[in-house]
């Protein structure tokens, strides 16, 4: 008998059992401290790529504000997706930027106004080749806004991946079981979306594969893979003086623990 059969079957059984789980609740957001903005192409992207923001809130006391760039192309679902997004952010303890019920996509002027309002220390956006057209548009939308902010504006910009993997991530961030479970739970609150595709249940598997990829893409070809169960890959750079500035000489691997966060952020 194959000794790995029980291991594989346990994954299959766990996913099947999790299909019937429902969660609710909220976490009090961090209202002070330096500001982190998440420019999310669609509702749910904030949860899928949200491992580092969640750790920044919990371990470094950062104020996390999600900025929904769109509410999807299906007009009939936009109001529902806005409500689901509110619930998901409340579950994680994040603020969710709203424009008095306006669900129209943000434009460059909107993003410039948001950057001027919050003056973030750190911001997140998709990388330029994240396959999905709205993800790619969001990258260039935010980059155009950055160019309009003037030479005096600077912040750390962290690029995310989901649909299209980055060729050159420079940061691998560990997640423990509790943190990953919280992201799965928050993603499940995008009820209408996971009803048609229960992708929240595959989030841990995606993060496991990130450990495989990140061990060499971030750590160097042929390098030793860190003993992580889950991770998310990012590319962190500095926007300074109106241009991109490299933040690291080599890739960084960020294990659990506040002291590791402080070393970089």
Q: Of residues 99 and 191, which shows the higher confidence score? A: 191
What's the mean pLDDT in 98-104? 87
C-alpha distances in angstroms, 22 versus 46, 189, 217?
Answer: 19, 8, 36
**What's the confidence (pLDDT) of residue 222?**
87
pLDDT of residue 148: 97
In a domain, 175, yes or no: yes
pLDDT value at residue 262: 84
| 127 domain-assigned | yes
- In whole angstroms, what is the distance from residue 127 CA to residue 94 CA? 22
The per-residue pLDDT for range 32-88, each reduced to its tens digit, is: 879 999 999 999 999 999 999 999 999 999 999 999 999 999 999 999 999 999 999
Domain assignment of residue 58, given as a range = 30-264
Average pLDDT over every residue of 121-133? 98
Q: Cα–Cα distance between 160 and 164 in angstroms, integer?
A: 10
Residue 188 lies in a domain: yes
Is the per-residue pLDDT at 210 higher than 80?
A: yes
Answer whether residue 201 is part of any domain.
Answer: yes
Q: What are phi and psi of 71, to 5 degrees?
A: -115, 30
Q: Predicted confidence band at 164 (pLDDT cuts at 50, 70, 90)?
A: very high
Give the number of domains in the chain.
1
Q: Largest Cα–Cα distance in the chain?
A: 65
Please tell me whether residue 47 adopts helix, strand or coil conformation: helix
Question: From CA 100, how far away is CA 51, in angstroms rounded?
Answer: 28
Signed CA dihedral, 250, 254, 260, 263: sign only = positive
Q: What is the pLDDT of residues 244-265, one digit of tens each?
A: 999 998 999 999 998 888 888 8
Q: Which residues contact 214 (CB under 8 A, 6 or more apart)?
A: 169, 172, 231, 233, 253
- pLDDT on residue 105: 96
The reply to whether 125 falls in a domain is: yes
Query: How far apart, in Å, do the first and last CA atoms of the chain sit?
Result: 49
Instruction: Quote the pTM value.
Output: 0.96
Residue 13 lies in a domain: no
Residue 42 domain-assigned? Answer: yes
Q: What is the CATH number of the domain that holds 149?
A: 3.40.50.10320
pLDDT of residue 224: 82
Top-confidence residue, 199 or 225: 199
- CA 171 from chain centre, in angstroms, equals 13
**Any domain includes 68:** yes
């Amino acid at each position: 008998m194959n000794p790995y059969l029980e291991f594989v079957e346990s994954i299959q059984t766990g996913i099947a059992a999790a299909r019937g789980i429902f969660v609710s609740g909220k976490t009090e957001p961090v209202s002070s401290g330096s500001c982190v903005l998440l420019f999310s192409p669609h509702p749910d992207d904030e949860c899928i790529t949200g491992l580092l923001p969640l750790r920044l809130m919990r371990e470094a006391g950062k104020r996390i504000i999600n900025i929904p760039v769109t509410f999807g192309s299906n007009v009939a679902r936009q109001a529902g997706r806005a409500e689901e997004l509110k619930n998901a952010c409340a579950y994680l303890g994040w603020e969710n930027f709203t424009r008095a019920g306006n669900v129209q996509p943000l434009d460059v002027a909107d993003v410039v106004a948001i950057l001027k309002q919050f003056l973030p220390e750190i911001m997140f956006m998709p990388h330029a080749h994240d396959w999905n057209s709205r993800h790619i548009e969001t990258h260039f939308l935010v980059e155009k806004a950055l160019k309009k902010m003037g030479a005096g504006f600077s912040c750390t910009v962290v690029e995310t991946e989901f649909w299209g993997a980055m060729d050159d991530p420079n940061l691998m961030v560990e997640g423990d079981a509790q943190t990953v479970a919280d992201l799965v739970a928050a993603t499940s609150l995008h009820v209408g979306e996971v009803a048609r595709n229960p992708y929240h249940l595959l989030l841990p598997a995606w993060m496991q594969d990130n450990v495989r990829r990140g061990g060499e893409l971030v750590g160097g070809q042929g390098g030793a893979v860190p003993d992580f169960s889950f991770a998310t890959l990012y590319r962190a750079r500095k926007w300074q003086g109106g241009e991109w500035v490299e933040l690291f000489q080599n890739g960084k691997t960020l294990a659990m623990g506040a002291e590791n966060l402080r070393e970089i952020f």
